[in-house]
Structure 1
Amino acid sequence: MLARFDVKGAWRRALLPLQRLATGWWRSQSPSRQDRFATLGPLISVLLFLSAIVLAVWYLRNEEIDRASEAVRRDTEIAQQQIQLRLIENEEQLLRIAREIATRATDASQFNAQAKAFARDRPEIIHITWLGSKRERLASESASGLQAETLMALGSDDPSMPAGNPATAPERAFQQAKQLRKSVYSQAFSDYNNTTVFQIQVPVLDRHGFSGMLIAEYSVEALLRYYVKSEVSARHALSILDDHDQILASTAPAMPGQRIKKPVIFYDAPLGRKLDNGLYLRGQGYRTSAGLIGNTLFWMVVALSVLTVWMLLGTWKHMRRRMHIQNALVNETNFRRAMENSMLTGMRAMDMESRISYVNPAFCAMTGFSEAELIGRKPPFPYWPPDRYEENARLLQQEIHGRSPAGGAEVKVMRKDGTTFDARMYVSPLIDPKGKQTGWMTSMTNITEAKRVRDQLSASHERFTTVLEGLDAAVSVLSVQQGELLFANRSYRLWFGADPKGHAMLAGSQLSRSKEDPDADEEVDDYGGLPSQHLTEVGSDPREVYIESLEMWFDVRARYLQWTDGRLAQMLIATDITARRHAEMLAAQQAEKAQVTSRLMTMGEMASSVAHELNQPLTAITNYCNGMVSRVRNDAIQKDDLLAALEKTAKQAQRAGQIIHRIRNFVKRSEPQRQASSAHSIVEDAVELAGIELRRRNVAIHTYVAQRLPTLMVDPILIEQVLMNLLKNAAEAIDNAGLPVSRRHIELRVVPKHTPELGGNIEFSVTDMGPGLPTEVIERMYEAFFSTKADGMGIGLGLCRSIVESHQGRIRAENLYNGPSIVGCRFAFTIPVDIPRPEPSGAAQNTAATP
């Protein structure tokens, strides 16, 4: 007894620290958390009880399944051993017979006697057959005594015969036994009578090698029926299955049409340890008790536990709702107190006798007086300036009688140190829960800084308005949704008045809405759904607009902005550019006149060459006419000769007319007109006109025009003028330099090109073998009135550059070098076209003219 008492005392002393720790933890929790733990305790107890019941039922069920599984395994292994012993015994007998056959100790008659005796004592054997080395049947004995003629006969359709088809189980076993030189079991198959069987094939080996095969065929169903004990089959169902889980034989066959399901309790074992044909033995057990789903006691315990949990959860939910309400009330009180204490707006409460009953910290911080100095004070209050007692008393009377302005009253407040600041005070009545007024609540805000900012903004707005009014450009702001003119400066009012239609004309669009339109409210807003922030961030490109009523041109720049009231608005700045437009039009007219003048000068310089070119056909015409007149007078001309002479005269006249037509088209003054033109035709016309000057100066020209060039959208006369100037300058450079005949030629090339900088373009290049150009001339050649000729006007290359750039092209000049020496000069200009990628130029058309 003493020893037992000491053990109990030791346990108490050991558990005392844990008890103290648990008690301290419980007391450290708040009352709300203690209530929560007290509610969760019974709930956890019920859940643990339910879990224990489930685990107990599950454990007992698993114990029962384990016992049943062990019994199935034991009976299955007993049946396996019995079948295996029978198979081994039969295999030994067959091996003995095979050896006697190999030693010639047994012939066919003796084999039949031995086979009949062997099969009589073994009901699982269907037949025993002796095959020769070439699969011929030497002897065969059926267990039933009734043997068909086709049984194991060569050439028959007996499925038990290994007839050479590798897809059959007997043939695969035959080949395997022949190769391995040992007995082999075949896979299960159906014989001639549709019985599931398998074979054991024992090779007959003599001193010469393979001499035949001894085959014994087993019935799977008889093997299971005769060698499984009745007490085992009574306890459990046993089945033989193949490697595809198909039941070949069973002690408990299924009902017809019933689907066989995989059992819950089963055990699988190979049919024989040496049997490698995929057959195995399955033992199946039966459950004797219901599971969890069918256990009524289990479901009663679950239902009672769920009911208890539901009641505990309802109680816990009710307590939580009460706790939430209590916490919400405390949080609301703390929130309001924290908001009043942290806000910058001063709060003051007065009772019906104008006595201060409450001030928040912000009010004390603004006035400099403490809460004790203000609570309980009556007017005049200490924060009233002495010189404003009457004004503050009047405002206080307005507050008491409820006549305080809705926008608040602006007052002067004096701090404790004597300084003053501007404040705005708002008053509202204090109502108790019974609906009775108990006083007044006043909020006070310091507006000193706000007044200063407002005054600065007012001054800034005045300066801004002065600047906008002084601008020479028209500035207007229009509301996008309402079509209302929000702002217009003096220049806008001078040109358009106060009409918003002037803004619409400058913007190039009609007003989206109009106040005069009665259906304006039913119109769909074109800007509805668009993000106004993106519109205000993105500007627009400047446009030039002509106002017909004012006969003025304006440079208009527009952008969207957010107006002061939040509406989306469009601002336009329109600058008068009428004088600039007139100057540009005058410059364009002068440029056109300069182009015509340049062409006339070119024809003037080529006048002697043109006269010489026209003199030849005119002289030929005169000679033909005089000759025909003389021969007609002498009656010495035939009709055919007269026709030939007239045809030659007409050809010469046509030639002279073509020369005059070309010259007339070249020098005719017309408006620049772009049209679809062919590079080949432009080059042909320019070369034909320039050929007159080239022949006079004894200069040859070679042209190369690539085939399949795209169509050019240009003014063909202006491009011909550029080519004429470049060809004439090249001829003059060669002629003035007095070069030999081998260098008196010009090359004109027209090829397609594609560069990353310019994209797709057609390049016209004129290359001569002249002395080239000095560097200072290349830098200044495009300047107006700059020329290297003594009688030149200096407008040719400048016009060429203007023409090319008006077609969005580029022109350049470069010297050609052979080492340090200049051997020629190349002028090239490009006209942009749509060429997606560089293409090799095809066969080109070459024409050559010699002087």
Structure 2
Amino acid sequence: MSNQVPKSAAPTAPTPSENTTDTNTWRHWWRRQSPSRQDRFVTLGPLLAVILFLAAVVAAFAYLRLEEIDREQQAVKRDVEYAQQRLRLRLLERQEQLMRIGRDIANNELDESEFQQQAAALINQYPELLSVSWIDANRRVKTSFVSSSVNFNLLRATGELLKDGETEDAYELAKDLRQPVYSRPLNAFSSSFNAATLGLLIPLNSQGKFSGVILSEYSIDNMLRFGVPTEVSARYAVALMDDQNNMLAGIKPPPRNKAARLLPWTDAAAEYEVPVSPVGNGLLIRAQGYRASLGVIGSGFFWLVSALSALTVWMLLGNWRHTRRRMQAQQALVSETNFRRAMENSMLTGMRALDLQGRITYVNPAFCQMTGLSESELVGCTAPFPHWPEAEIENLSSRLDDELHGRTPLAGFEVRVKRKGGEVFDARMYVSPLIDPRGQQTGWMTSMTDISEPKRVREELTASYERFTTVLESLDAAVSVAPLGGSELLFANKLYRSWFGAEVSGHINLIAQAGRPASRPTDDELDAVDALAGFPTDTLTAAVSENAEIYVPELAKWLEVRSRYLTWVDGRLAQMVIATDITPRRQAEEQAAQQNERAQTASRLITMGEMASSVAHELNQPLTAITNYCNGMVSRIKSQQINNEDLLMALEKTARQASRAAQIIQRIRAFVKRSEPNRSLAEIIVITNNAVELAEIELRRHNVRLSHYIAARLPTVMVDPILIEQVLINLMKNAAESIAMADMPTARRNVELRVGPKNIDGQKVVEFSVIDTGNGFTPEVKSRLYEAFYSTKAEGMGIGLKLCRSIIESHNGRLEAENLYNGEEIVGCRFTFWIPVNPMFGPPASTDENLA
């Protein structure tokens, strides 16, 4: 198989054209940058180079230091493991010697005295041993020997019970394992020798039976002193630690300097620890190297390079900051210049500068646009200027002389200016001195504003005001405006002046009589500040005007007064009052009310006329009974067949029938009696019962049964009882006639009256419903139901339902009618009206408004 790479897959070197394209791209990108951005990139280059150099130096020194730390760590690890092996061998050697003594004791080859001799030989030969004790199976000391370097009083007495907690635990463990066991190391405070100790327990087995232990106690300090090689302890701070990191013996490591706290790797002393075998994890040997110097990091070369790099960075940052401030100042100057130029070019006010001799030295674009002349045509010109109209040259020359001598008014003056095309317009000029930076006047600055349009608007406003005043003067209503808290009249039209003169008293009296608190202010209350100054007036001026009808005795007229708040032209809050003469309308309303009253009385008379036969039949019954009772009594008295008790009973029955006839006549008289509308608190049940008693007479004539339901505990209402009775009687009479015209069978000749409370749109009302079983009414009849003089009965006058609706609406209620359906079949109709429990009544004459 060939190992050659195909030509198509071989990488191709970039062509010169591609290199040229990349170079052109970078060059194009560089040219697109602003000068300030180019300067920033040029400044950042050296700064970045210095920072990278300093980072490289720091990285090199850090690498060397890490290498040095690694070497030191390897060395301390090796030396600590060597020292641990030395301690291990020394402990194992002592352990073997003690186990030999234990075997001799188990074979009964050694007594107490010989044990003390061998123990003394071991302790004298090996200084780390503090004591050797023989303890029997009952944990009592048979014999013991203590080193001469220890206080003799610490010798364990023969027969003493072993009570040390750690030694007791090791004793039990050695008894169970039948193997040598090291106890946990004890510090100087826990040990009975006032020094850190380590215990070794060798179990004694006599013929396979546990017979006690040999307890040897080591001085941990001597173990470190004689067990660790001298060359190791000279190079490192060596210490023996327990499993809780408490130092038992040795040298504390030296404290780290402040630099090491900030940069730990600059003073990372080598440190290593390992458990001491065969003791286990309960005893650790730790070594930490001594730092004689700071190493390469502490060398002067490192700090010299760092200081030079920092100084270079500081110089570059200072240079960059100075360059940035210079560019910012330059940009601010350019922006300010551009802003002033843009402001001058965008101003709608024309600006013109004159020197002290009257020569034009500067014009802005707005001035050129107003006059139609270019800057070159105006700058350098002297009077007469090309924008002066020929007819105004003399006047404008005088104005120019005043301008050069500083005699122009501060409020400016009006002039006529000619455009290049010959058109003349009105302008207003303001003149101010032109002062140079040294405080000396070098000329005059003139600002010119075109006032043609404002002048035209002002003239139109004047004409509009005149037209508005003419309209107000010719109104047939009195219009007046007065400020709140003031005694002046801001405006009054002709009719107001003819009624009340030019005094504000008429305005105040109209407000007072309309129900608003108003009084003539005293001298102390007259102030230039409005009474409502400081309060928001938007709600007042935007409020809808309120109407009131009052009677003015001085004029003998009824006036409709409308008032509202408005903001006057000077910003004060004022009140406008419009008073219209409504005396003819009030007279027409009174006449309409009288006519409506007569119509209601006529309607009741017509109703009673239609019910005359029924009423006669109703009266015939009690009158016939009275006649019969009287004839019977006369006959029995003549025949002397009546006693006093029968006579008294007959007289009482006659009196009751007479009272019944009188009640019927009295109710009819009250119903047809003409009286003024009188609204009073009335009981619904009384009104309904009276109407039912009168209507039942007519319903019985038509063979119609009446059923009624009246809810309990109905509230009292403010109504005219006679008028409401008239409405109920009319509706029940119409229902009976509708059933009779439909020729309904006896089972379906029913009229139902229901009265109960209801809540309509949050308003408590009492609702009356009259339901019949007739044929209802067609859509055409429904559309003309309340039309005056329209009736479906041949003898009807067509004013009953019209009057009923007027009466209900005069009580702020509503009358409605609807057909009742069973599927698509009409099975009757229902008339419903309701009366509010707490109405706000208008004038009684309003009952006739729908008759017009």
TM over 0.5: yes
Say which SS state the counterpart of residue 357 (structure 1) adopts: strand
- Aligned partner (choices 519, 522, 536) of residue 530 of structure 1: 536
Larger radius of gyration: 2
Distance 2:519 2:284 in 1: 91
Report if aligned partners of 2:545, 2:564 keep a CA contact under 8 Å in 1. no
**Shift in Å, 1:591:** 1.9
1:638-687: CA deviations, max 9, x gaps?
Answer: 56545544543443344344334433443342424153533x44332211
Cα separation, 2, equivalents of 1:66 and 1:577:
119
Decide which of 802, 808, 829 is 2:806's aligned counterpart: 802
2:434 to 427, 430, 435: 430
CA RMSD of aligned residues (A): 6.5
Counterpart contact for 1:752–1:761, Cα < 8 Å:
yes
In the alignment, is residue 459 of structure 1 matched against residue 463 of structure 2?
A: yes
| Structure 2 equivalent of residue 338 of structure 1 | 342
TM-superposed deviation, 1:688: 1.4
Partners of 2:286 and 2:643 in 1: how far apart? 133
Is contact 2:415-2:427 (8 Å) kept?
A: yes
CA change 1:303–1:785 in 2 (3 A) is: farther
**Change in CA separation of 1:735 and 1:388 when aligned onto 2, cut-off 3 Å:** closer
- What TM-score do you get using the length of structure 2 for normalisation? 0.59
The 1:744–1:354 alpha-carbon spacing in structure 2 relative to 1, beyond 3 Å, is: closer
Conserved 8 A contact 2:238-2:288: no
| Change beyond 3 A, Cα 1:296–1:801 | farther
- Residue deviations 1:51-73 (CA, integer Å, cap 9, x gap): 9989999998999899999999x
The answer as to whether partners of 2:240 and 2:284 remain within 8 angstroms in 1 is: no
Which residue number corresponds to residue 684 of structure 1? Answer: 689
Distance 1:331 1:647, change over 3 A: same
Secondary structure of the residue aligned to 1:450 is helix
539-548 vs 617-626, which deviates more? 617-626
Output the TM-score relative to the length of structure 1.
0.59
C-alpha contact (below 8 Å) 1:544/1:553 kept by paired residues: no
> In structure 2, how many angstroms separate the alpha carbons of the residues matched to 1:59 and 1:431?
73
Q: Given the alignment, which residue of 426, 440, 443 partners 2:444?
A: 440
Quote the offset at 1:565 in angstroms.
Answer: 4.5
1:671 aligned counterpart, secondary structure: coil
- Distance of 2:835 and 2:516 partners within structure 1: 39
Given that residues 346 and 366 in structure 1 are in contact (C-alpha distance below 8 angstroms), is that contact kept between their aligned partners in structure 2? yes
Could you say what secondary structure the match of 1:590 adopts?
Answer: helix
Counterpart contact for 1:726–1:766, Cα < 8 Å: yes
Give the share of equivalent positions with the same residue, in percent: 53
1:705–1:386 CA distance, 2 compared to 1 (3 A): closer
Structure 1 match to 2:494: 490
1:727 aligned onto 2:732:
yes
Distance change (3 Å), C-alpha of 1:31 and 1:595: closer
Task: Show the 5 A alignment for 1:115-134.
Answer: none
Q: Verify: 1:651 aligned to 2:665, yes or no.
A: no
CA distance in 2, matches of 1:563, 1:514: 20
Measured after TM superposition, the shift of residue 427 of structure 1 is 1.7
Distance in 2, Cα, partners of 1:802 & 1:427:
77
Rounded to whole Å, the distance in 2 between the matches of 1:469 and 1:675 is 49
- 582, 588, 592: which is aligned to 2:587? 582
Equivalent position amino acid for 2:694 in 1: L
Q: Equivalents in 1 of 2:567, 2:56: separation in Å?
A: 68
CA 1:574–1:627: 2 relative to 1, 3 Å: same
Is the CA contact (8 Å cut-off) linking 1:480 and 1:512 kept in structure 2?
A: no
CA distance in structure 1 between the aligned counterparts of 2:80 and 2:627, rounded to whole angstroms: 140
- 1:486-525 matches, cutoff 5 A: 486-500=490-504, 502=506, 508=514, 517-521=523-527, 525=531
DSSP 3-state at the match of 1:518: helix
Query: Which of 705, 708, 731 pairs up with 1:703?
Result: 708
How big is the shift at 1:747?
A: 2.8
Displacement after TM superposition at 1:452 (Å): 3.1
Aligned to 2:596: 591
Name the count of aligned residue pairs: 664
- Alpha-carbon distance in 1 for matches of 2:784, 2:662: 40
**Structure 2 residues not aligned, in runs of 5+:** 1-18, 85-135, 141-163, 170-176, 188-197, 201-217, 229-236, 250-263, 275-280, 292-296, 839-852
Shift of 1:395: 1.4
CA distance in 2, matches of 1:601, 1:286: 132
Mapping 1:226-305, distance limit 5 Å: none
- What do residues 750-803 of structure 1 show as CA deviations (whole Å, max 9, x unaligned)? 356678x89876543334445655665544342223344555433222111212
Q: Structure 1 residues 360 and 621 mapped into 2: Cα distance closer, same or farther (>3 Å)? A: same
Amino acid at match of 1:799: L
Which consecutive residues of structure 1, in runs of 5 or more, have no partner in the other structure? Answer: 1-13, 80-141, 147-192, 199-213, 241-248, 254-263, 270-278, 290-294, 835-851
SS in 2 for 1:592: helix
**Match in the other structure for 1:666:** 671
Structure 1: distance between partners of 2:288 and 2:506: 100
- Paired residue type of 1:682: I
| Cα contact 1:561–1:568 (8 A) shared by 2 | yes
Match of 1:152 in 2: none
2:368 aligned partner = 364
2:425 counterpart of 1:421: yes
Q: 1:286 to 1:381 in 2, by over 3 A?
A: same
Distance in 1, matches of 2:812 and 2:71, equals: 96
Q: Match of 1:720, as an amino acid?
A: E
Amino acid at match of 1:675: L
What residue in structure 2 maps to residue 717 of structure 1?
722
2:757 is the alignment partner of 1:748? no
User: Partner residue of 1:348?
Assistant: 352
Deviation at 1:814, TM superposition (A): 5.0
Counterpart Cα distance in 2 of 1:220 and 1:589: 129
Residue identity opposite 2:346 in structure 1:
S
Letter in 2 for 1:519: E
Task: Indicate conservation of the 8 Å contact 2:50/2:313, yes or no.
Answer: no
1:518 CA displacement: 2.5
Report the CA distance between 1:724 and its aligned residue: 0.9
Give distance in 2, aligned partners of 1:530 and 1:624.
85
